[in-house]
Amino acid sequence: MRNAKRAQAELKEVGVSRLSVSLNAHYKATYNDVCKSRFEDAFEKVLEFIKCARDAGLDIEVTAVAIPKTRISKMEKIALEMKVKFRVRPYSPCIW
């Protein structure tokens, strides 16, 4: 949490007042599957970052892509419980 708090302070120092953070999943296993993170605790770190940014007084908007593997309602609940804004981004499947 210390690094997240320091990041928030640095963002405020350079004039950032709002952030949009992609959550993209409603729990850890789905997050790791969707985001292909190399970090085992990536989901928890994103949640921590959101909380620290909110606590630092930044205007936070959590976003999520409406992909079939995720539960938009559960991500919205996470955002509501954190008392931050929430927005759904449309899903556009890649066709190669």
Calpha distance 18→96 (Å, rounded)? 35
Q: Is 45 left (phi over 0), alpha (psi -120 to 50) or beta?
A: alpha
pLDDT at residue 92, rounded to an integer: 79
pTM summary value: 0.83
6-39 tens-digit pLDDT: 777 788 888 888 999 999 899 898 888 888 888 8
User: Domain-by-domain residue ranges, the chain?
Assistant: 2-89
Tokens 């640095």 correspond to: 10
**Residue 84's pLDDT is what?**
97
Determine the CATH number of domain 2-89. Answer: 3.40.50.620
